[in-house]
Structure 1
Amino acid sequence: MQVKSIILYNYDGDTRTLPFKLGAVNIITGQSRTGKSSVINILDYCMGRPTFTIFEGVNRDVVAWYAVLLQVGDTQVFLAKPAPAGQAASQTRGYIETATEITVPTLAQLQPNTNDEGITSALSSLLGIAPNQTLGPAGINLDSFQATMQHAKYYLFQNQSLVANAKQLFWRQDEEGIPRHIRETLPYFLGAILDDRQAKLAELDKLQRGLKRLQSKSREADALFGKQAENGRTLLAEAQAAGLLEAIVPDTQVIAELQRLVTWEPGQGVAINNSPLEQARTQLREVQRDFRDKQREIEEAEEYLSKEEGFSSAVTDHSDRLRAVHAFGTEAEHAHKCPVCDSTLQEVPPSVAALTASLSRMQADLTDVKRERPQLEQYLSGLRAQLEDIRQNMSTSSQLVATLSTERENGQRLRDLELRAARVVGKIEMHLSNTELVEDQADLRERIEAGKKYIKDFLESLSSDEVDDIVDSSLSVIAEDMTEWASDLAMEHAGYPHRLDRRKLTVVADRDRIITMERMGSGENWLGCHLICLLAMHKFFIERDRPVPHFLVLDQPSQVYFPQIDGVSRAYQQLDGTVQDLEAVGGDVLAVRRMFVLLFKVVTLMSPKLQVIVTEHANLDTPEFQRALVEAPWTNGRALIPQNWLTTKVK
């Protein structure tokens, strides 16, 4: 994880991007009050810290959102947080986006989609910080916590007041509770607390809960033991009352008799849903339904036949009346003569023709009806025969239902007795299971003792002694680089072993006596202790693939090489980032060059896995220094915040 850029948004939506080179030394130089020291605070704030430590004034008045673009392997992470509203000193809402390549969002697109906890969790996961648990101050599970991305920050930032501090070595070390967090998370970041420790602690918890269950079971068995004989005798009395037992059983045979009784099985009971009675009742309902349906068919057929008979009778009567037409001969003979006076007619009367046609149609219909009637009578006769068969089936089913109902009433008493006996047998089964528990007490005690020994051995495998040994070994490796680089910086005690004292959180030099950082004297030595320790730790983290971001930010480290009055270097503060004769203002040019040579040396050694960002007032004319400049020196109006933003008002 390295820093690709810092992005600021003003209230009009304009952006200011400060780019950085990955795997290299990045230098920002310029005059005072241009925003260089805000780089650390912006990174800290955007990476999940709620407290707003970015300096007030124009920064808060014109910047709406602060953002950081991180490169994590092949993944980019964009983090952004708005400035706190009003006079608030903290703000937890934020925006996060991950992709192979991020397109920087516009101000309108920045809508909070997470909070500081979500940012911390996401960054911890991307770094590969596995579930872990620190060693508490007084034991394995006492007041312990998980190391996260927030704890990795202790090794990333060195602001102006810290970078050469005689009493504090790590970021935020002067805040309450932070020294303890540094001490207890350092073993994890060094690899002394393995990633599987959390799983082992979960297994330990499971073992301890299992042991408690066995111990509880043993106590219950002891309580049951005293009541075993009494309960057994009571159950035998209940079995005798239920008809399961006749003879009196001796005390020595109680368990054996109970074991015999538990094999008792009741007779086959009548299940209500699938009983023969219910089946017979279902069959009777079906037959009754068929009987009603068949009756309906017969009624419909009889009604049809009755209507047909009425039709036939009506047609016959009408046909007889119409036959009078034939008294006048054929239509051809009498078509033009009056049937009454025999006079000749000019036209044939319509009524005669109509009557003749109507008579023909009625005679045809009457013939059809007479032809269908035998078939209808035969169909109706068949329906009546089917109805009689159904009536017989219905009578048989009714008799079966009555018989089964009687049998069911007679069997109810037997089932009541079986149910009572079954309840007694169930109580006997429960009693015997508890009795078996009591009988297995010896085996249970052996399992409890074996569990205690196993847990004791497990605890020893997780003891802090093993962790301490690994931490001490790791710090010895780190000390080798610290000692070498102390000579590169020409520190006061160069040539003697330098190491990190993890309990006091300081650097010590081992001579004939232990010399702590604050007793070494001079800001040059204090700065040197910070540089050699943090660079050596980053080298170790990278080589051991530990989950710590691969960047280090140093704020104005060369200030210690200029004359100071009351702890302040006026000459250094007056530098404006342009190339100047540092000796002319009293600077130790050789020491400044040694410091940057060491930074370039270590970054090159670890390339491309280490990034160093330095903010400075000084500007060296060496090619290496000039290539490392992120931008032109921040002077003559150039700064972190563009000049044209200063007229933008908060909206």
Structure 2
Amino acid sequence: MRWNIERITFYSHDGRRRDIVLTPGSVNIITGASGTGKSALIRAIDYCLGSKDCDLPEHVKIHASAVAVLWTNGEANLLTARIIPPSGQATSTRMFVAFGAEISLPDRVEDLPGSCNLATARVEIQRAFGIGDVTQDVSKGRSKPERISIRHITPYLFLSKSVIDSETILFHGMDNKEKAEGIIGSMPYFLGAMDEESIDTEKRLKQLRKALESELARMSSRDAELDVLKQRALSLLGEAAQCGIAPTAAQDSNLDSLLNDLNLVAQWSPSATPLQDDSALTGLYDAKAAALSEIAELRRQRRIVAETVQYASGFSDTVSRQLRKVAIVETLNPSSMHETCPVCLQHTTAAPEMLTLIRQSAEKLKKERTVTSHQRPRLEGQIEALNQEIEALTGQLRSIDNQISSLISAADDSKRLADNTQRAVRVVGRVSYFLEAFKQRSHEPNKRLSEIEAEISDLEANYDPEYKELRLRTAESEISRSATDIIKPLPTEPPCTGAEIQFLSKKPDIVLVQPSTKRIVRFGSIGSDQNYLAIHLALIFAIQRFLKETAAPVPGVVVVDQVSRPYFPSDDETDEINLDQESEDEDTRALKRHFDFLFSEVAREQDLQIVVLEHAYFAEDPRYTSSTKYRWTKASGEKLIPRDWPIVEANKSRSR
């Protein structure tokens, strides 16, 4: 027997409890006025199946402290209970889960067995229902896969008031984008297209294919990296060749050859560089300075002597000119010059004295010229001697300069050798770093690649990716056929009447195929609340039939919130609607056909439990009256939560 609900229990704050007792394998009807708490039963069951939030009505939150659902499969019971959060608090993570043959509901919240947190409770309920530890496919928009959980079975259990005649929502929970992704992703599992083993295989294949793609990309990147490394190796060997510590590498050399050459470079060590003695160079510079100083002094002396020679030559010329001027005195007779000047022939008494003085001056000039004539060769000889000394010192200076140039050249060679050694040391350092970095990289991915390819090959040999699609198409086909059979006796209008239902699980979606024209009618274009009611009923019970046939881990329970909604719309003031034979009209007859189907479906499936929350009440239908568990009418004043239950203030915390 599939799991059914035996009872739903609410606990008050003062130790009382309210039991909603249901009959497994049958139709259970709860009728009554609006606002009596009928719709809260779906939310209570959902809350005890580990929903994220507590959507119970405010009236329930302030009067009840906990809610419990007792499930049975004929052999064992499963208790799922949960603390109700106070008003203003979104939810409670405290739950109670107990499984066994003798499990029953205690009278007090404090005695509920199996206290645990929300996550643990979900796992325990899943285990009891038979849901495996599997991960669904990653839906579009999801960043990571989600585990299939108890939260994914609710679309097959509830036809809530927002769904039952909706023209946009196909399943309970599909109006929430996040929930919808989980429902769609888990559907192949519940429809039997995949089991735990195939899901694990598919998941592993996806992981391996992703790893294979990554490995291939890494190999492609590795090839590009190796090319960069080769160019770097060539560049380092080129630098080493410039330093003279490696031969020039050929551009077409392979990387292994280049690495061998670089390893040889890394083993190079510098030889000792001879030290340069600067004392000899200092002495030469001192000798050069002394020679330059001495040459400068000789040149000064030569300049003085030359100036003297030049002065003497000028003096000699002057004396000669003066002598020529006074040479006339040699021709004059002093005796004839007593009173007459020999030059101007004028009368003078001083002529003889003047002639004497002139002759004396001429004699002195002759002596001076003689002296000058004797000194000039000596001075010229002195200049020649100075020139010889200067030339000798100049030769010595050239020798000193040559020695200095030689020592400087040697020093430059030594410096170049030292600089080249330092450069070579730096190159060797970079080569060593390059080789060390190269060793730390993994350049042999072929082994990992072959392992991945081998595992993919083994898994693909035992897993056909098309098998999932085939099974899913088969499930869709069987559900579509059942839904088409179910909808035939239900009241519908064109284009639904006589049409074939096609269920598409991937969206999920429903389309109608016209029998004669084969024209496709989309779900949103079907029209008529009556049609949408019939389609939702046909689909959920067709799925329930399939779930039973495939022994899917989903309870055989369907909770329907107001089948009469399209025929007798209600508001908050609507009381129970009594329908009898005298007041029977077209809508009543149509509604009755829906209930005829529900009763026949329970009889057909036997372990299927249907819970109907209704306004309508067929007082003269014995099947209906015997299946009605509770009537919460305005006249009776009965409700889901008794009126005399105490209220807990919104800001009062609960210690339980």
Which residue is equivalent to 1:48? Answer: 50
Q: Distance in 2 between matches of 1:190 and 1:179?
A: 16
Secondary structure (helix, strand or coil) at the match of 2:564 reads helix
C-alpha change, 1:228 and 1:519, in structure 2 (3 Å) is closer
Counterpart in the other structure of 1:306: none
Contact map agreement 2:31 2:613 (CA 8 A) in 1: yes
Cα deviation 1:81-120 (Å, max 9, x = unaligned): 2221341122222122222122322123248822222221
CA-based RMSD: 3.9
Deviations 1:301-338 (A, max 9, x none): xxxxxxxxxxxxxxxxxxxxxxxxxxxxxxxxxxxxxx
CA distance in 2, matches of 1:77, 1:649: 32
1:87-106 alignment, distance < 5 Å: 87-105=88-106, 106=108
Go from structure 1 to structure 2 and tell me whether the alpha carbon gap of 1:22 and 1:540 turns closer, same or farther (over 3 Å shift).
same
1:31 matched residue in structure 2: 33
Taking a change above 3 Å as real, the CA distance of residues 214 and 53 of structure 1, as seen in their structure-2 partners, is closer
| Residue type at the aligned position of 1:4 | E
Is the partner of 2:20 in helix, strand or coil? strand
C-alpha change, 1:574 and 1:86, in structure 2 (3 Å) is closer
SS of the residue 1:17 aligns to: strand
Provide the residue aligned with 1:597 in structure 2. 596
Shift of 1:187: 0.8
Tell me, yes or no, if structure 1 residue 547 matches structure 2 residue 546. no
- Determine if contact 2:132/2:196 at 8 Å carries over to the other structure: yes
Q: What SS is found at the alignment partner of 2:71? A: strand
CA gap 1:574/1:583 in 2 versus in 1, 3 angstroms: farther
Kept in 2: contact 1:555–1:614 (CA 8 A):
yes
> Where does residue 504 of structure 2 map in the other structure?
501
Distance 1:176 1:232, change over 3 A: closer
- Give the aligned residue type for 1:592: L
The aligned counterpart of 1:611 is 609
Is the contact made by 1:25 and 1:611 (CA closer than 8 Å) also made in structure 2?
A: yes
TM-fit CA distance, 1:502: 2.6
Q: CA deviation at 1:143?
A: 3.2
Give CA deviations for 1:360-400 in whole Å, capped at 9, x if unaligned: xxxxxxxxxxxxxxxxxxxxxxxxxxxxxxxxxxxxxxxxx
Task: Tell me the equivalent position of 2:563.
Answer: 557
**How is 1:282-431 mapped onto 2 (pairs within 5 angstroms)?**
none
Identity of aligned residues (%): 26
Q: How does 1:268-287 map to 2 (within 5 A)?
A: none
CA contact (8 A) 1:48 1:120 kept: yes
TM normalised by structure 1 equals 0.60
Change (3 A) 1:227 1:482: same
CA distance in 2, matches of 1:210, 1:520: 47
Give the superposition deviation at 1:555.
Answer: 0.6
Q: Unaligned 5+ residue runs, structure 2?
A: 230-254, 266-438
Partner of 2:24: 22
Cα 1:142–1:623 shift into 2, 3 Å: same
Contact 1:160/1:557, CA 8 A, preserved across alignment: no
**Residue 500 of structure 1: CA displacement?**
1.6
TM-superposed CA distance for 1:166, in Å, is 1.2
Give, in whole Å, the separation in 2 of the partners of 1:446 and 1:161.
57
Does the aligned pair in 2 maintain the 1:70–1:77 contact within 8 Å? yes
**SS of residue in 2 equivalent to 1:588:** helix
Residues of 2 paired with 1:554 and 1:525: CA distance? 16
- 1:118 corresponds to which of 107, 117, 120: 120
Letter of the 1:604 counterpart: A
Aligned-pair distance for 1:190?
Answer: 0.6
CA distance in structure 2 between the aligned counterparts of 1:23 and 1:552, rounded to whole angstroms? 11
Q: Conserved in 1, the CA contact under 8 Å of 2:557 and 2:609?
A: yes
Would you say the 8 A contact 2:13–2:646 is kept in 1?
A: no
AA aligned to 1:472 is R
Q: Deviations over 1:266-309 (max 9, x none)?
A: xxxxxxxxxxxxxxxxxxxxxxxxxxxxxxxxxxxxxxxxxxxx
**Match of residue 283 from structure 1:** none
Conserved 8 A contact 2:579-2:588: no
Deviations 1:239-289 (A, max 9, x none): xxxxxxxxxxxxxxxxxxxxxxxxxxxxxxxxxxxxxxxxxxxxxxxxxxx
Q: Does residue 142 of structure 2 align to residue 144 of structure 1?
A: no
CA distance in 2, matches of 1:546, 1:472: 17
Aligned to 1:65: 66
Match of 2:491 in 1: 490
Q: Deviations over 1:488-529 (max 9, x none)?
A: 103223332112233443322101321123322211111001
Alpha-carbon distance change, 569 to 548 in structure 1, aligned in 2, over 3 angstroms: same
How many Å separate the matches in 1 of 2:609 and 2:135? Answer: 29
CA distance in 2, matches of 1:494, 1:30: 32
The question of whether the paired residues in 2 share the 8 Å contact of 1:127 and 1:548 is answered with yes
What residue identity is the alignment partner of 1:599? L
Q: Is the 8 A contact 1:211 1:451 kept in 2?
A: no
- State whether residues 78 and 128 of structure 2, in contact with CA within 8 Å, keep that contact through their aligned partners in structure 1: no
Against the structure 1 CA distance between its residues 485 and 214, is the aligned structure 2 distance closer, same or farther, given a 3 Å change threshold?
Answer: closer
Q: Secondary structure at the match of 1:499?
A: strand
State the match for 1:623 in structure 2: 622
Structure 1: which amino acid aligns with 2:550?
R
**C-alpha separation in 2, matches of 1:644 and 1:554:** 29
Task: Give the Cα separation in 2 of the matches to 1:73 and 1:213.
Answer: 54
1:29–1:629: 8 Å Cα contact kept in structure 2? Answer: yes
Question: Is contact 2:165-2:536 (8 Å) kept?
Answer: yes
- Counterpart of 2:528 in structure 1 is 522
SS of corresponding position for 1:589: helix
Q: CA deviation at 1:549?
A: 1.6
Counterpart residue number, 1:188: 189
CA shift in 2, pair 1:632/1:216, >3 Å = closer
Distance 1:647 1:217 in 2: 69
Following TM superposition, by how much is the alpha carbon of 1:647 offset from its aligned partner in structure 2, in angstroms? 7.1
Letter in 2 for 1:118: T
Report the residue type matching 2:190 in the other structure. Answer: F
Aligned to 1:538: 544
In structure 1, the gaps of 5 or more residues are 235-433, 563-567
Structure 1 residues 449-460: aligned runs within 5 Å: 449=450, 451-452=452-453, 455=456, 458=459
* Counterpart residue identity of residue 18, structure 2: R
Match of 1:84 in 2: 85
Q: 1:506 to 1:200 in 2, by over 3 A?
A: closer
